[in-house]
Amino acid sequence: MTEGREVVLASSNPGKIREFDALLSPLGWKVIAQNDLGIEGSDEPHRTFVENALVKARHVAQRSGRPALADDSGLCVPSLQGAPGVDSAHYAGPQRQDQDNNQALLRALSGSTERRAFYYCVLVWVMHGADPTPCIAEGRWFGEILDAPRGAGGFGYDSLFWVPECGKTAAQMTLAEKNAQSHRARAWQSLLPFLQA
């Protein structure tokens, strides 16, 4: 990619901004958060990650006049019919924080022995607001939900998300470890050929 290109990230989440900056800066892209341009988040009315990501990417691209990258991601627990799913950020209610959402998840799984879960991510990149050929990539990261949090890093449900092959939670991983294997990293690997073309 050409040096000095800018892409607007359709997020104001500091954790996501850090992760995408670490992924995109080696390719010569500067990540700008939507709120740095005074762009408010769009509505996410849909029940699927891909539809919400597409809405967010187009919203930011149209208002910024720049390429946009949107991520819609969350935690899916099959025994809870996929919840929290697209409601992951607000599982405990509209203005809730990560800790509240984690407690709501633990309550929902109370007494359950089926604790398999996966983080899911879909990335949508558009070159402009009317881009008829958005690039769409997805990734899944499988693990289990613990009974209590472990680790102080990460965000969202990371402190409850146990990755058996690593022997630690996502919150106990370094950013480099997480970027090498997370749902976002896996979606990123699918998006990378598009960015390098």
Residue of 57, 187, 181 lying closest to 120 (CA atoms): 187
- List the Cα angle 18/150/105 in 5-degree steps: 85
Per the annotation, does 59 bind a ligand? no
The Cβ-side half-sphere exposure at 67, using a 13 Å CA radius, reads 16
Per the annotation, does 158 bind a ligand? yes
Per the annotation, does 184 bind a ligand? yes
Dist. CA 74–CA 42, nearest whole Å: 17
72 classed as catalytic? yes
Per the annotation, does 190 bind a ligand? no
Q: Of 21, 36, 71, 72, which is the active-site residue?
A: 72
Per the annotation, does 21 bind a ligand? no
Task: Give the residues across from 142 on adjacent strands.
Answer: 118
Per the annotation, does 13 bind a ligand? yes
Catalytic residue positions?
Answer: 72
Which residues carry a binding-site annotation for substrate?
11-16, 73, 155-158, 178, 183-184
Pick out the residues of the known binding site for Mg(2+).
Answer: 43, 72
Numbered residues of the known binding site: 11-16, 43, 72-73, 155-158, 178, 183-184
